[in-house]
Amino acid sequence: MAAPVEPLDFEGYGAVAKLLHWLIAALAVIVIGLGLAIPGAPRETAGREVLLTLHRSVGLSILAVMVFRVAWRWTHKPPPLPPDFPKLVALTAHLDQALLYVLFLVMPISGYVNAAAAGHTVSFFGIVSIPPLLAENVRLSQTADALHLAMQFFIYLGVGAHLAGALLHFIVAQHRIMERMLPQRRTQRRHDPA
């Protein structure tokens, strides 16, 4: 018989915040995988166009979810950290989270600017076509592309720091802080034989 799960001695995130967090994480894994596959696909082929369409579509999905997430965060305060949580660690975590918010907003915008300034329409999963909302500008397109490519490394760094911090708290410090963002486990009840 499994031992009952002890309730958290501090408040966790709400269901919507958890859903948004894990949705962004899943979409990020997908968009990175697609982005890494694009250079291997020959130019002017249907396969490359499918990869580009999916990469751009998932990127726009991330942008939409992030805008909603920022609005949600603005109107719903996150739960406070435990009172004994180290201040410097908390500051580092907040800075990393702020960096990730900015990157996950700017990254898809730079991708769209790259395509739009090159005169390309962006298809959203083949359902809706978003016309270029910018005048064609080769220099702007190249700048947005360079920014888009460079920012991926900051995302890897930010996500890596986020994961490392969570695992350090869980494994080394043995805080249960990570459980604030995990699905809530139900307390198991012992069934007495009838």
- 82-141 tens-digit pLDDT: 777 788 888 988 899 999 999 999 999 999 999 999 999 999 999 999 999 999 999 999
Task: Establish if 47 belongs to a structural domain.
Answer: yes
Q: Out of 32-36, 67-71, 181-185, pick the least confident.
A: 181-185
Range of the domain at 137: 15-79+86-181
CA dihedral 35, 41, 45, 48 (to 10 degrees): -10
- pLDDT the model gives residue 191: 44
pLDDT above 80 (res 57): yes
Tell me what the mean pLDDT of segment 3-20 comes to.
71
- pLDDT the model gives residue 95: 93
Task: Establish if 8 belongs to a structural domain.
Answer: no
**What residue type is assigned to position 108 of the chain?**
P
C-alpha count within 13 angstroms, C-beta hemisphere, residue 21: 17
Tell me the backbone φ, ψ of residue 96, rounded to 5 degrees.
-65, -40
Task: Establish if 5 belongs to a structural domain.
Answer: no
Task: Establish if 1 belongs to a structural domain.
Answer: no
Q: How many domains does the chain have?
A: 1
- pLDDT the model gives residue 166: 83
Place of tokens 């898809």: 108
- 173-191 tens-digit pLDDT: 666 777 788 877 544 444 4
- 140-159 tens-digit pLDDT: 999 999 999 999 999 999 99
Task: Establish if 186 belongs to a structural domain.
Answer: no
Task: Establish if 191 belongs to a structural domain.
Answer: no
Helices 46-75, 87-117: inter-axial angle, 10-degree rounding:
140
C-alpha count within 13 angstroms, C-beta hemisphere, residue 112: 22
Task: Establish if 170 belongs to a structural domain.
Answer: yes
CATH label of the domain that carries residue 135:
1.20.950
Q: Out of 6-15, 52-61, 185-194, pick the least confident.
A: 185-194
Place of tokens 């949580």: 85
Token duo for residue 16 = 């919507």
